[in-house]
Amino acid sequence: MKVVKSSNCIYAFSPSMQPVEMIEPGDTVIFETIDALGGQVKSEEDTANLDFSKVNPATGPIFVKKAQTGKTLEVKILDIEILDRGIIVAEEGFGVLPDVARGFEAKILQIKNNFIHFNNFRLPVDPMIGVIGVAPQDGEFPTGTAHKHGGNMDTKHIKPGNILYLPIFQEGALLALGDVHALMADGEVCVSACEVGSKVTVRVKVVDMELEWPVVETKEGYFILVSLPDINEAFREVTAQAVRFLSDRLKISFAEAYMLSSLVVDIQVSQLVDPNKTVRAFIPKVIFH
């Protein structure tokens, strides 16, 4: 089993990324990750000297043999082991309510017995991956930005037991991940979740299928993930993707699939605070039975 150390990290997804490991399809890989603050915040007073060029590191990338353009990378999330200490931050000028914080504020959160301790609240952990993606078709995307290649999708369903499908744009795919959260609610409204260091175990395969946007598969259904600067554009695009998904698989007209979508497809928000907002369409598997 390959282990990718957190010292091998990137701050942008690009076609020219250099792989740090090479694997075969079907291999299991452990990614060691640093928290989204780059491990810089040791106490709540450390925020004054934060180097923003070192935030949102993603561990990797790895080269997957037989991963070719036009195919899809299948990433099964097997396990997320988190550290016993998390951080949540808020910054003036950012988030859904940009005028709440004054300057840059941080709160250290202790994690014990699978609970996060926030003041007097005990919140059950539910670890998920914030940043996961491959080399894009062209251009460079900071790890804090999501698009068709994946990236900072901040979708709480990218967690153990589920499968993420990513379109492959470059030979070898070049998979990297990071920004693990011990807990995050939809929206991630203050621009941060419970940021933690972690060890993420995944199994990687190559699927002979073509995708336009990332898709998460759970036991209950499929989430199509779309990330665009304008949230209304993102809602339109994810709706079109869901209608096409139903039309293709059920062999019905686009108009019929559009009407069916009003009955069975849920349009949801993953995150509202990154440069590209991430929305998702949930399609239940029961409709295909």
Burial 241-254 (b: 16+ CB within 10 A, else e): bbbebbbeeeeeee
- Encode pLDDT of 30-64 as tens digits: 999 999 999 998 888 776 677 878 899 999 999 99
Which percentage of the chain shows pLDDT scores above 70? 99
Per residue in 189-240, pLDDT tens? 999 999 999 999 999 999 999 999 999 999 999 999 999 999 999 999 999 9
The CATH topology of domain 2-40+50-211 is Jelly Rolls (2.60.120)
Fold designation for 217-288: Endonuclease I-creI (3.10.28)
CB 132 within 8 A of CB 31: no
Please tell me the predicted confidence (pLDDT) of residue 194. 98
Q: Where are the domains of the chain?
A: 2-40+50-211, 217-288
Q: Which residue has the higher pLDDT, 23 or 43?
A: 23
Say if residues 171 and 133 touch (Cβ distance below 8 Å).
no
At residue 108, does pLDDT exceed 70?
A: yes
pLDDT of res. 86:
97
DSSP the chain: -EEE-TTSEESEE-TTPPPSEEE-TT-EEEEEE--TTTT--SSTTGGGG--GGGSS-EEEEEEETT--TTSEEEEEEEEEEE-SEEEEEEETT-SSSTTSS-SEEEEEEEEETTEEEETTEEEE---EEEEEE---SSS-EETT-EETTEEE---TT-STT-EEEEE--STTEEEEEEEEES---TB-TTS---B--EEEEEEEEEES---SS-EEE-SSEEEEEEEESSHHHHHHHHHHHHHHHHHHHHT--HHHHHHHHHHHPEEEEEESSSSSEEEEEEEEGGGG-
Q: pLDDT by residue (tens digit) across 112-157?
A: 999 999 999 999 999 999 999 999 999 999 999 999 999 999 999 9
